[in-house]
Amino acid sequence: MTSVQSSEGTISVQGQKLFYREARPGSGQTPRGLSVLLLHGIRFSSDTWLKLGTLDKLAQAGYRAVGIDLPGLGHSKEAVAPTPIGELAPSSFLQAVLEALELGSTALVSPSLSGMYSLPFLTAPGSHLCGYVPIAPICTDKVSPADYGRVKTPTLIVYGDQDPMGESSLKHLQQLPNHQVMVMVGAGHPCYLDSPDEWHSGLLNFLNGLS
């Protein structure tokens, strides 16, 4: 199996400490030059991506993979979210995260709750995301059709067909001009947990197509 360099730590974001976990390609591998930032839902944390093997899978494929614990959750419990849950956060929040982690070219994975952070960042003028993978995120109805229409970022919309939120978020997300859809049959809201192999295969196929 390909070697992986794993680490964890904290970063300072807008005056608060956020916890992160990271996996990088090991020695002898050629890095792809693309980072993948993984957010999470309200019942989860970066530990989800660690235990599921997503961080390692990405690193083994040549990507720098980072999972953060969002404010108030996981090991970032003492941090306060910039806005109440369910409202769009300032795009400056994720911009500060990317800068603190020195991620460079980045693809963003955003399930459920984390839509309140990822959508305003995705649609902000001057956003330079290389790829976006929304997984039934919240707040899709809070973005205007015009703002969706201006986004050029390649997007992989993922949801489980047993998740009512999947269809409702798709209704809005499909206004993104450069999108494809991955429906995971028999999977619920955290669809990546129901079928990890399918999730990893679909994610890597998408990421590999960005270069």
Please state, in angstroms and rounded to a whole number, the distance separating the CA atoms of residues 202 and 150.
25
Please state, in angstroms and rounded to a whole number, the distance separating the CA atoms of residues 208 and 15.
35
12 is a catalytic site residue = no
pLDDT reported for residue 44? 92
Please state, in angstroms and rounded to a whole number, the distance separating the CA atoms of residues 184 and 164.
13
pLDDT reported for residue 27? 77
Q: Which of 40, 75, 179, 189 is catalytic?
A: 189
194 is a catalytic site residue = no
In this structure, the dihedral spanned by the alpha carbons of residues 156, 162, 167 and 168, taken in order and rounded to 10 degrees, is: -120
pTM for the whole thing?
0.95
Domain ranges in the chain? 5-209
163 is a catalytic site residue = yes
Q: Which helix (H) or strand (E) holds 167?
A: helix 164-173
pLDDT reported for residue 149? 96
**Helix ranges, 41-149 (H):** 46-52, 54-60, 91-101, 115-123, 145-149
Residues 160-211: pLDDT tens digits? 999 999 999 999 999 999 999 999 999 999 999 999 999 999 999 999 999 6
Ranges of the chain whose pLDDT falls below 70: 1, 28, 211
pLDDT reported for residue 146? 97
Domain 5-209 - what CATH class? alpha beta
Q: Judging by DSSP bridges, how do beta strands 155-160 and 16-25 pair with one another?
A: unpaired
pLDDT reported for residue 211? 65
pLDDT reported for residue 195? 95
Q: Which of 56, 110, 163, 179 is catalytic?
A: 163
